Chain A
């Protein structure tokens, strides 16, 4: 398959784009990518490919656009079945989707509350966020990855979000490693994977973006 058949509309600091890049790398699939200036001016291609949300990532496969990162990852898993990212049994797939949905609802927005808040609200946001991580720790248990022995769907959805944790730690004055050591161990395990490291930005770079976003939101 030639590279031109797959085009990713991307943004380096976006953890949602990170998910798609990791999934494609896990499948050994080649693709083109185009960096979008999401704050400065979105391209015509992005606006026409994702008219509903106007957001990255968008994956164009033979010109057909796919939107929403968790849906894109599932699509990648179905279009290129090997190695599988989701389990085979319907019950285990449902569990993977459940935790994927939990992550969607709680992690990024919960973390954002920390850097968007002022005063006492920061403490509340931090407590809620740590509680979310503890729930994820609970479901991870003693397993290497959320799906068991193999890196998979839930890990792919979650690991890119951790590049924003450094920023939450700075503004919330806490350390994920101290509050949730098992979670931290899982993060380190994922970061030993080349596909993960290559797909994700440095947390310091994300921090610069968060500083800018804070100004835009009038938090500074």
Chain B
């Protein structure tokens, strides 16, 4: 069996999602911690285009970009399938994964802003979360249906990381009253063993995000 190595960063939700899928598939891998503020030669060689984690190295070949890594794992290790069999349902899953990627920065903009700008960020995040809840999740237990799938994994940051983002930013966006279905989904996702057992240390994450927020707010223009 060919060697699997994951270059990741403990605080990165993009790394987390790869770990969850590898574990759900029962794939053995070696984890290599990268410091995004002090990148190794290995990372720069393995992802010369974007120079970012996560990177999956399988049998010496590199795959970059987390959503692409997830599909690669799904195709290479088909046990415990995380994408639907039906082509239309698969297209819908890809649609929501892409939506999550594109809108994550906007949903998390509350973290990089303060005052009036943050108020606006809360409004925009609320709008996007409404779309996800109404059009993506609906009445389902998970985005994947009765069991978790790649969309749930791709949105895992919303279930686990976002409450830390809210705490550090002193806001509440994703509350149970406004988002009853999303709130229920979060509670269901958090108890899935692979996810529960593979989350970054809470206190460490709070400290890390506090420092990152201070850095953002100290920039001359408070937006990225």
Measured between beta carbons, the chain B residues less than 8 angstroms from A185 are: none
Query: Which chain B residue has the least Cβ–Cβ distance from A67?
Result: B95
Known A-B contacts A68-B98, A93-B72, A135-B49; A98 and B91 likewise in contact (beta carbons under 8 Å)? no
Residues of A within 8 A of B (CB-CB), count: 22
Known A51-B135, A72-B91, A75-B91: A98·B64 in contact at CB below 8 Å = yes
- A135 neighbours in B (Cβ, 8 Å): 49
Q: Are A97 and B71 in contact (CB under 8 A)?
A: yes
Contact A71:B49 (CB < 8 A) given known A97-B71, A98-B65, A101-B65: no
Partner of A71, one of B72, B76, B91: B91
Q: Is the CB of A91 within 8 A of B61?
A: yes
Q: Are A94 and B72 in contact (CB under 8 A)?
A: yes
The answer to whether A90 and B90 have CB atoms under 8 Å apart is no
By DSSP majority rule, is chain B's interface helix, strand, loop, or mixed? helix
Query: Given that A51-B135, A90-B72 are known contacts, is A102 also in contact with B91, CB under 8 Å in the complex?
Result: no
Interface status of B88 (Cβ within 8 A of chain A)? yes
Alpha-carbon distance between A101 and B98 when the two chains are bound, in angstroms: 10
User: A98 and B63 in contact (CB under 8 A), knowing A79-B87, A135-B49?
Assistant: yes
Chain B 86-113, CB within 8 Å of chain A: the 1/0 string? Answer: 0110110011001100000000000000
> Cβ of A74 < 8 Å from any Cβ of B?
yes
- Cα A101 to Cα B66 in complex, Å, equals 11
Does A42 have its Cβ within 8 Å of any Cβ on chain B?
A: no
In the complex, the 9 A-B pairs of residues with the closest C-beta atoms, listed nearest first: A90-B75, A75-B91, A94-B72, A78-B87, A90-B76, A94-B63, A97-B68, A71-B94, A79-B87
In the complex, whether B42 has a CB less than 8 A from a CB of chain A is no
B131 lies within 8 A of chain A by Cβ: yes
Give every chain A residue within 8 A of B99 (Cβ-Cβ): 52
Q: Chain B residue with minimal CB distance to A79?
A: B87
A66 within 8 A of B: yes
Neighbouring B residues of A64 by C-beta, 8 Å: 88
Q: Are A78 and B90 in contact (CB under 8 A)?
A: yes
- The residue among B58, B65, B75, B87 with the most chain A CB atoms within 10 A of its own CB is B87
- Overall SS of chain A's interface: helix
- Complex contacts, B63 vs chain A, CB 8 Å: 91, 94, 98
Question: Which residues of A76-95 are within 8 A (CB) of B?
Answer: 78-79, 90-91, 93-94
Task: Say whether, besides A94-B63, A98-B68, A74 and B95 are in contact (CB < 8 Å).
Answer: no
CA distance A102 to B61 in the complex (A): 19
- B-chain residues with CB within 8 Å of residue A93 when the two chains form the complex: 71-72, 75
The interface residues of chain B lying within 8 Å CB-to-CB of A97 are 65, 68, 71
- Give residues of chain B (19-65) contacting chain A, Cβ–Cβ below 8 Å: 49, 58, 61, 63-65
A127 at the interface (CB under 8 A from B): no
| CB proximity of A34 to chain B, nearest CB, Å | 20
B88–A94 CB distance below 8 A: no
CB contacts (< 8 Å) of A72 on chain B: these are 91
Task: Knowing A51-B135, A52-B135, A94-B63 are in contact, say whether A66-B49 is a contact too (CB < 8 A).
Answer: no
Asked if B88 contacts A66 (CB within 8 A), the reply is: yes
Q: Smallest distance from the beta carbon of A105 to chain B beta carbons, Å?
A: 9
**Contact between chains at A75 and B87 (CB < 8 Å):** yes
18 more contacts with CB within 8 A, not counting A78-B90, A93-B72, are A51-B135, A66-B95, A68-B95, A71-B95, A71-B98, A74-B91, A74-B94, A90-B75, A91-B58, A91-B61, A93-B71, A94-B63, A94-B68, A97-B65, A97-B68, A98-B64, A98-B65, A101-B68
Set of chain B residues within 8 Å of A66, measured between Cβ atoms:
88, 91, 95
Contact residues in B for A98 (Cβ distance below 8 Å): 49, 63-65, 68
